[in-house]
Amino acid sequence: MSGAAPGGVLTFGEGLMKLALPPAQRLEELGNLRAECAGSELNVAAALRTLGRPAAWVSGLPGGPLGDWVRAHVRALDVQDLSLERPGRLGTFYLEDHHPPRPSRAVYDREGTAFQALTAADLNGSWLGGRSALHVSGISLALGPGPRALALALVGAARERGAVVSFDVNHRRLLLPDHAAADTYGPAAQRADLTFVAERDAELFGGAEGLRALNPQAQIIVTRGARGSETHLPGGEVITQDAFPTAGPGRVGRGDAFAGGYLHAYLDGGSPREALRFAAACAALKTTLPGDQLRASEAELRAVQAGSETDEPRR
Ligand X SMILES: Nc1ncnc2c1ncn2[C@@H]1O[C@H](COP(=O)(O)OP(=O)(O)O)[C@@H](O)[C@H]1O
Binding site for ligand X (CB under 6 A): 198, 223-226, 228-229, 243, 246, 254-255, 258, 280, 283-284
Determine whether 98 is exposed, middle or buried from the number of CB atoms within 10 Å of its CB (0-12, 13-18, 19+). Answer: middle
Concerning whether 256 is annotated as a catalytic residue, the answer is: yes
Q: Which of 81, 122, 168, 256 is catalytic?
A: 256
Report the nearest approach of Mg ion to the CB of residue 170 (Å).
5
- Which one of Mg ion, ligand X, none interacts with residue 246, CB within 5 to 8 A by kind? ligand X
Q: Which of 170, 195, 229, 241 binds Mg ion (CB under 5 A)?
A: 170
Q: Which of 146, 147, 255, 261 binds Mg ion (CB under 5 A)?
A: 255
Q: Which is nearer to ligand X, 39 or 60 (CB)?
A: 39
Sole window of 26-34, 73-81, 248-256, 307-315 interacting with Mg ion (rule: CB under 5 A) = 248-256
Phi, psi values for residue 275, rounded to 5°: -65, -40
- Which one of ligand X, Mg ion, none interacts with residue 228, CB within 5 to 8 A by kind? ligand X
Q: 275 with 259: CB under 8 angstroms?
A: no
Q: What is the DSSP letter of 14?
A: -
Q: Which is nearer to ligand X, 121 or 226 (CB)?
A: 226
Q: Which is nearer to ligand X, 114 or 280 (CB)?
A: 280
Integer Cα distance of 315 and 309 in angstroms: 14
- Which one of ligand X, Mg ion, none interacts with residue 224, CB within 5 to 8 A by kind? ligand X
Residue nearest to ligand X (CB): 255
- Which one of Mg ion, ligand X, none interacts with residue 225, CB within 5 to 8 A by kind? ligand X
Q: 59 with 83: CB under 8 angstroms?
A: yes
Per DSSP, the residues of 163-225 read -EEEEE----TTTS-GGGHHHHHHHHHHH-SEEEEEHHHHGGGTHHHHHHHH-SS-EEEEE-G
Output the CA–CA distances (angstroms, integers) from residue 154 to 135, 150, 223, in the order listed.
9, 6, 25
CA 222 to chain centre: 14
Residues lying near Mg ion in the complex (CB under 5 A) are found at 170, 255
Task: Name the residues annotated as catalytic.
Answer: 256
